[in-house]
Amino acid sequence: MPTIIPIRDLRNTSEISDMAHKIQEPIFVTKNGYSDLVVMSTELYEKIAQTNRIDQAIFEAEEEMNNGAEPKVFQVVTVYYYLREHIVISMIYIYTFLRHY
Q: How far apart are the first and last CA of the chain?
A: 29
pTM, 2 dp: 0.62
d(CA 70, CA 22): 45
- Check pLDDT > 80 for residue 29: yes
Long-range contacts of residues 46-55, Cβ cutoff 8 Å, at least 24 apart: none
- Check pLDDT > 80 for residue 14: yes
Identify the residue with better confidence: 48 or 84. Answer: 48
Average pLDDT value for the chain? 82
